[in-house]
Amino acid sequence: MIKEVISDAEEKMKKAIEVLRQDYATLRAGRATPALLEKVQVDYYGVPTPINQLANISVPEPRSLVIQPWDKSVLAAVEKAILKSDLGLTPNNDGTNIRLIIPQLTQERRNEMVKVVKKKAEDARVAVRNIRRDANDHLKDLEKKHEISEDDFKRSQEEVQKLTDRSIKEVDKVLENKEQEVMEV
């Protein structure tokens, strides 16, 4: 019973950290990565479709992306979707490919990005703490129903706290890495 509650909490905490990593992958840090385009949806015959399902995305140089649609008729739709996105990138259409040049971030923009990165990390920490609270509430219910002893309750609470501390450390490590990446010139 206790093991199930703790493993469930651990699984949820890992998912919270993974969501943070995915969010960070879509943030532009001055370096070209295909993950930048993951959230961009193209109107493909009336259906919103991710770019990576319509085209090959490559990184020929550290500051540029090349998008090669498999169906050349979607070139204009891909271009329009990139312009509509909040990436702040201007696509260059050469008739067969779309090139995206990732501009150097200004110091001001870097500082704004760091604020966004820290806010996302804090959201992940809050999610981890909420998972801890839910696990502790569940354990408390088990103790009230006399399904576990008071000693088991205390031990399991300590275990949940250790799990929480590890997860928060992991969030901090992910934050530190992304912060360094954003501040890199």
pTM: 0.73
CA distance 144 to 138: 10
pLDDT at res. 185: 62
124: CB partners within 8 A, 6+ apart: 16, 17, 19, 20, 171
Block residue for tokens 């309750």? 153
Tokens of 89: 């990138």
pLDDT at res. 62: 82
Contacts of range 174-177, beta carbons closer than 8 Å, 24 or more positions apart: 174/17, 174/20, 174/21, 174/24, 174/121, 175/117, 175/118, 175/121
Model confidence pLDDT, tens digit, residues 33-72: 888 888 888 988 888 989 888 889 998 888 888 999 988 8
CA distance 5 to 156: 9
CA 15 to chain CA mean position, Å: 10
108: CB partners within 8 A, 6+ apart: none
What percent of the chain is predicted at pLDDT more than 90? Answer: 39
CA distance 31 to 4: 42
Higher pLDDT, 31 or 157: 157
Confidence of residue 159 (pLDDT cuts 50, 70, 90): very high
Spatial CA neighbour of 147 closest among 5, 13, 12: 5
Q: How high is the mean pLDDT of the chain?
A: 88
What domains can be seen in the chain, in order of their start residue?
2-25+106-183 (1.10.132.20), 34-101 (3.30.1360.40)
